[in-house]
Amino acid sequence: MKQISIAFILLTVVLAACSNKNNKNGHEGHNMNSTTTESTQPAAEAEQNIPAVAVTFKDVDASVSTVINEVVDHYLHIKNALANDNAEEAADAAAAMEKAVAKIDKSLFTIEQKKVYDEVGDELKEHAEHIAKKGDDIKHQRSHFASLSEDVYTLVKAFGAGRSVYHDHCPMARDNKGAMWISELKEVKNPYFGASMLTCGSVEEVIN
């Protein structure tokens, strides 16, 4: 009788141990799934939380829109050259941008469109000219690029860029005064610091 009781007790202990092991494995699996969900969720939320800005004018003359897209393409070339610390390439791209700006036929704008363009048209050409002439002075180029970027921001918000573009901002640019730029990439590629702080900055908006 005593032997039967001891056997029963041993059986109970073994069954309890197996039950605990199964429960433990179940919780570990649950925790691993929770970790995966938590690690992927912030990135998805961050992408969804980028404010979207719609272009103001939808009825832009097709030929004007084509030239504006060309201007933006050359601007993006400048941006990428500066992000790569390549002053000579930035100068070449700026010279091409200056020529593209000169091709814009303002007579094809509506009154409201012309009013917006006139706010930035001359400055687009001026800053591009400065960058084009300073292929040996990247600091000077970056100084004018900050102003050029604000004008291009106004341009693409009004007329579009032929694609979605991103408004980025770096708080440390211009001696911690901050500066913005327009990019075709979601990833931050900082044109103000290049390789020294390539990913410094944040995406503020997407312009569609």
Strand 165-170 relative to strand 179-183, pairing: antiparallel
Domain total in the chain: 2
97 lies in some domain: yes
Mean pLDDT by 10 residues, the chain (208 residues): 42 40 36 32 53 96 98 98 98 98 97 98 98 98 98 98 97 97 97 98 97
Determine the structural domain holding residue 10 and report its residue range: 1-40
- Assess whether 88 and 155 both reside in one domain: yes
- Assess whether 30 and 68 both reside in one domain: no
Extract the tokens encoding 64: 């004007």
In angstroms, the Cα distances linking 8 to 15, 22, 125, 163 are 11, 21, 93, 75
Distance, CA of 40 to CA of 46 (rounded, Å): 10
- Assess whether 202 and 124 both reside in one domain: yes
Q: In what order do the strands lie in the sheet with 179-183?
A: 52-53, 202-207, 165-170, 179-183
70 lies in some domain: yes
- Assess whether 7 and 72 both reside in one domain: no
- Assess whether 36 and 134 both reside in one domain: no
- Assess whether 80 and 172 both reside in one domain: yes
* Contact criterion met (CB below 8 Å) for 151 and 120: yes
- Assess whether 58 and 153 both reside in one domain: yes
66 lies in some domain: yes
Per-residue confidence (pLDDT) for residue 42, from 0 to 100: 39
Can you tell me whether residue 58 is helix, strand or coil?
coil
Residue 46: name the closest of 186, 208, 195 by CA.
Answer: 186
- Assess whether 17 and 116 both reside in one domain: no
